[in-house]
A and B are shown apart, each in its own frame.
Chain A
Amino acid sequence: MSEPHTDPASAPALRIDGLTKCYRLGEESIPVLRGLSLRVGAGEMVAIMGPSGSGKTTLLNCVAAIDTPDEGTVEMSGAPVEYGSERARTLLRRRQIGIVFQFFNLIPTLTVRENVALPRRIAGDMRADDDARVDELLDRVGLKNRHGHLPHQLSGGEMQLVSIARALVHRPALLLADEPTGNVNPAIGRSILQTLREAVRDEDTSVLLVTHSPEHAAWADRICFLKDGVIAGEIAPAGGEDDVAPVYAELQRLGI
C-alpha cells in the first residue's frame, strides 16, 4: 500500500500502482494485469486501447471496486481505495465514480428520467426526479422529450446516451466508460464522445475510456496502450479528435 496523498487538490484523479489481477481456472492461475501503473489527472480524458483479453475491462472493474485486485494500490483523488471494506467500496461508487457500460445496463422497470435520477436517489435525494440537474443532462444528451419512456422503447444509441447521463448526474470525479461506442452507429458515437468531452471541459470530470476504435480514442487527451497486463505505450494526440494517424502507428508498433 502506498502512502496516501495529503493534498487531494494536487493529487491526480486516479493513481494506480503495480496493479496485479489473476483469474483462477481450475488449478491454473491466469494473469490478466501484471503490475499495471497509470495516472489520470483531474479533468483529463484518457483512452485505453488494447487487444481483446488484455485486461481493459478488468482494469475498469478494479478501479470501480466491483472487482478486487490481487496486488497493487488504487488511489482516487489521493485517497486509497479500501478494497477490504464493502461499505467504502459502495460509497466510492456512490460518490466518486460514474460508469458507462458497453451494454448500457439501464434498469428496465424505470423510465428514462428515473434511470438518470437513480444515483441521486441512491445518495438520498428522493426528489431527484424533479432535479434541474436531471433536466440539464437529458437536455444535453437530447432526450428531454423521451423522459417518460421505458428503456425498451429506446434505440441502442439512445439507451447509451441515457446511461451517460446517469453516470454524470452526481458529478463524479472519475467517469469509467467501457467501450461506450461499441454498440452504436457512428453519429451516436460522436454524440457520446462529445458529451464526455463536455463533461471533462465543463465539470472537470476525469474520464477513463476503453475503446477499440482509434477514431474514438483520438478524442482523448492521452491514449494508453495495454498489452500483456501492463501499459506498453502512451501517446498524446496533438491534433485532437482528427489526429488518428499516430494512434494507428502506435498500434502497429506495439503489434496490437
Chain B
Amino acid sequence: MAAAAAHIPLNPGLALRLAVRSLLRRRMIALATLLGVAVGVGVVNAVLIVDANTAQSRTADPELPAALQDSSPAPDAEAAQRIGREAFTITIERTRGDSTARSIVPSQRGKLSRIAANDGAPDRIGEEDYQAMRLAVRMASLLAFFIGAVIVFYTMRYSVSTRAREFSLLLCLGESRRNVAASLSAEAFLLGVGGTVIGLALAFPAAYGLLAAGVSTNGRDPLPGFAVPWFELAGMGLVSLAVVFLGVVSPLRDIRRLSIPDVLHPRFLSDGEGGIALAQKGFGWLVPPMLAAAWIGMRPFLEDWFSVVYFFLFEAVFIALLAVATLWWLSPVLRGAIRLFEWLFRVAIPLEAFLAGRRMRLNSQRLVFSVTGVTLVFSLLTGLHDVTRALKDEIAIWAWQAMGASSFLEQPAGREVDEEKLQQVLRSRGIFLVRMSARTRGNFPIRLVRADDINPLLQARGAPPLVPGTALLSRTLAARYDVRPGDSLVFSSSDAEHRFRVIGVTDSIGFYFEKMQYVDMKSYAVFSDGNPIFADNLELSLGRYAAARPLSAGQPYLSRAQEDALYPAYVTVKRGRFQGYWQRREIDSDFLIFDFILLGTIVLAGIGVANTMLIQVRARDREFAVLKSIGIGRGQIVRLLLIEGVIIGCVGAALSAILGNALGAISVRFLDHFTLFDYALRLSPMATLYVSLLCVGTCIAASIYPAFVANRTSSAESLHYE
C-alpha cells in the first residue's frame, strides 16, 4: 500500500494552485510574512551594500596643508611612510627581557591603563577598533535578521498547524501526502522568493539614502560611486529562502504522520487548542542550567581558541540562545508574569483581564515565540543603547579631561613671533604653551614640539628630557603598537637608519584639535626639534600650531583676556571645551547605522507580533463568536486583544530590560577589556523606561488590526459550521 502510494505522481499544477489559493485566502497573514522576510533581508542587504561602499582607511584631511598631506600607503599596510621627500619604513624594536623583536604590525594589546602602567603582562591580541565596529554592525544586522527569521519561522509553523483539518480533508479526497507537502513547499517558496526580492528592492534605496547621508559601517566616509556586493547579496537571499523553508520542515513532517481520523474528529471533542500544556513535565527544565554550566566550564578554553571578536560574537549569540531556551523551558515563569499583569489589569477591566490572562497562561508555551521575538528586539535596543552611552560617555569625559582646559591656536601666515615678548606674556598671564608642527599621516602620526616648551614640564615630573634621538608616544599609539619606554622606533630608508629611543608614554603634552576620529587624534608620536630627519619638512611648520592652557590648576580654561594676550603671535581657532560637543555629534553620526538596524528590527517586531495575533485571531473565530453570543461587546473584544498585546509587551519589556542590560554589560566589558578605550557601564533607568514604553506601544499597535479583524468576523458563520 505504501509502495503504491509512493508511485502516485506529483501534480505540481494543483500544488501551486492550492498554494496560491491558500495565500490569497489568508492574504493578510501572507502579506505580513512576506513583509517580515522583506524587512529582515532588506536591513541586512542595506548594511552589506553600505559596508561595500565604506572607506576602509582615512580619507584626505582638508584641514591640513597640501604639502603635508600624507601620500603613504594605507595604515594597515606594512610599508613605507613618507616624511618629507623621503620614504621610511618604521619598525618597532621591542625589548622584553632578553629578547628583541622588530615589527610594525599593530597589536593593540590589552587595556590602555596596563600599557601605561608598564606592568609587562601581555594581554590577548586585539583587533583594529574600526574592524570591531564593522563586525558589530554586521552582528547587529544579523541579529535583526535572526529575529526576523524567528518571526517568519514561527508564523509559517503556526499558520500551517492551524490548517491540519484542511490537509486531512484534501487527503480524504484522494490527494497524495506528497502533493499536499508540495503545496505547502510552494507556499514557502512563493513567500521566500517574494520576500527576498522585495527585501533586495528595498535595500538599494535604503543603502543609497544611508550613504548619501554620510552613514557608513565604521564611522569613516562613504566612498564615491555605488558598489554592489552581488555575491554576498545572493548568499543572503539563499539564507532567507532557507529560513522560510525551515519553518515548514516540521509541518511537512507532520503531514507525513497526519492521522486523518484524529484531525477530522469533531472539533468540539478535541482540545480545541492543539494541546494546551497545563504543566511542564520531565527534566527539560534542567537544559538551561546545564547549558549555562557547560558554558562556564568551556569559557576559558574558548577564550583562548577564538579571537576576541569571535569569542564575543559567540558569547553574545550563546546568551541570546540561553535566554530563549530559558523562556521555553521555564514557561511557568512566563505564566507567573502573565498572572501578575492580569492581577494588575483586573482593577480596571476585570472581565477582559480574566479572559486574556487565563487564555495566555494556558497558551504560555505557544506564547513564548511572541514574547521571545519582542524580548530579543528590545533587548538588542537596550544593549545597544548601553554600548553607545558608554562610548559617548567615554568620549565626553576624555574630551573634557584631555582637551577642556586647552585653547588651540594658530600662527597667522607670514607673521614672525617675537620670542622674548611671547615668553613675557606667558609668564605674566600664567599660560602654559606647547608649540607644535603639522602632523604627518600614516602608521605613525608624527608631531614635532619645541623642546624648550615641554622639557620644563618633563623635568618637573622627574621624567627624562625630550632631546634629538628620543621620542614620546601618546598612550593610545603606544597601546596600539605595544610600545613601552625603553623600546626603540627605527626609521629606515634606502640609505640610512635613524633610531629613536622611547623615553615615555604620556598624554601630558596634550592634544591638538583636528577634524578626525578621536582615536586618531589621540594617536601620535612626539619628537623634539633638532632631529635632522625632520629638518626638511616638519621643522618648517614647527610653531605654527599651539595648544595653550592655564598654569594654575584652579583655573579650568584660559580666559578671553589670556587668549587675547597671545595676539598677534597666535589666534585662537578652537576651544577644547567645545571640542567635546563636536566629538559627540560625530559619534552620533557614526552610530546612525545602528539606528537604521534598530528601526528595521522594530518594524520586524511589529510585523511579527501583529502576524502572530492575527493568526491566533483567525484560529479563534469561534471563541469570539461565542463570547459575542453571550453578551460581550465589540469594545470588549478589542480591549481583550489589546490586553493581550499589552501583556506581551509588558512581559517582553520586563525581560528585555534584564536581558538587554545584561547584553549591554557584556558588550561594554568586552569593549573596555579589548579596545584602547575606557568604557564603563552606566545604566539609565529613563532609557530603560523609554524602551519599555516603546515595547508596550509596539505590541499595542500590533494588536489593533487583529482586534478589528476579530470584530469583522461573522458570528453566525463561526458558530454554526463545524
| Inter-chain contacts of B165 with A (CB < 8 A) | none
Bound form: Cα–Cα A210–B354 in Å = 33
A109, B362: Cβ atoms under 8 Å? yes
Nearest B residue to A176, CB-CB: B629
B358 touches A103 (CB 8 A): no
Among B9-17, B79-87, B116-124, B270-278, the stretch in contact with A: B270-278
B631 touches A61 (CB 8 A): no
Q: How far is the CB of A125 from chain B (nearest CB, A)?
A: 10
- Identify the closest chain B residue to A124 (Cβ): B351
Residue from B350, B630, B720 within 8 A of A94 (CB atoms): B630
B499 contacts chain A at the CB level, 8 A cutoff: no
Residues of B with C-beta under 8 A to A90? 628, 631-634
Contacts of B273 in A (CB 8 A): 108-109, 152
Q: Does B694 contact A (CB under 8 A)?
A: no
Q: How many residues of A contact B (CB 8 A)?
A: 42
Q: How many residues of B sit at the interface, in one of the four size bands? A: 35 or more
Contacts of B266 in A (CB 8 A): 103, 156, 183
B627 at the interface (CB under 8 A from A): yes
A114 to B630, CA, bound (A): 14
> Is B719 in the interface zone, CB < 8 Å from A?
yes
Give the residue name and chain of the B residue nearest to A155 (CB). Answer: B269
Tell whether, in the assembled complex, residue B350 and residue A118 are in contact, meaning their CB atoms are under 8 Å apart. Answer: no
Give the residue name and chain of the B residue nearest to A152 (CB).
B271
Contact B276–A67 (Cβ < 8 Å): no
A109 B626 Cβ-Cβ under 8 A: no
Residue ID in chain A nearest B631 by CB atoms:
A94
Task: Contacts A109-B359, A121-B351, A126-B350 given; indicate if A99 touches B630 (C-beta within 8 A).
Answer: yes
Task: List, in ascending order, chain A residues with CB within 8 A of B358's CB.
Answer: 109-110, 114
Please tell me which one of the listed residues B269, B631, B719 contacts residue A101 in the complex, with CB atoms under 8 A apart. B719
Q: How far is the CB of B375 from chain A (nearest CB, A)?
A: 23
**Residue B541 lies at the interface, judged by CB distance under 8 Å to chain A:** no
Binary CB contact string for chain A from 97 to 131 against chain B (1 if under 8 A, 0 otherwise)? 01101111111111000100011011110100000
Alpha-carbon distance A121/B346, docked complex (angstroms): 12
Contacts of B720 in A (CB 8 A): 57, 61, 101-102, 178
Q: Is the CB of B630 within 8 A of A152?
A: no
CB neighbours of A166 from chain B (8 A): 630
Interface residues of B in 600-644 (CB under 8 A from A): 622-623, 625-634
Known: A103-B267, A103-B268, A104-B268. 18 other contacts (CB 8 A): A90-B634, A93-B630, A101-B626, A101-B720, A102-B720, A103-B719, A105-B626, A105-B629, A106-B268, A106-B626, A108-B276, A121-B351, A122-B631, A126-B350, A155-B269, A178-B720, A183-B266, A183-B268
Pairs A-B, 8 closest by C-beta atoms: A94-B631, A152-B271, A108-B272, A90-B633, A66-B715, A105-B626, A109-B359, A61-B716
A-to-B contact residues, CB < 8 Å = 57-58, 61, 64, 66-67, 86-87, 90-91, 93-95, 98-99, 101-110, 114, 118-119, 121-124, 126, 150-152, 155-156, 159, 166, 178, 183
Question: Can you name 30 A-B pairs with beta carbons within 8 Å?
Answer: A61-B720, A66-B628, A93-B631, A94-B630, A95-B631, A99-B629, A99-B630, A103-B266, A103-B268, A103-B722, A105-B622, A105-B625, A105-B629, A105-B719, A108-B271, A108-B273, A109-B359, A109-B363, A119-B631, A121-B351, A122-B351, A126-B346, A126-B351, A152-B269, A152-B270, A152-B273, A156-B266, A156-B268, A156-B269, A183-B266
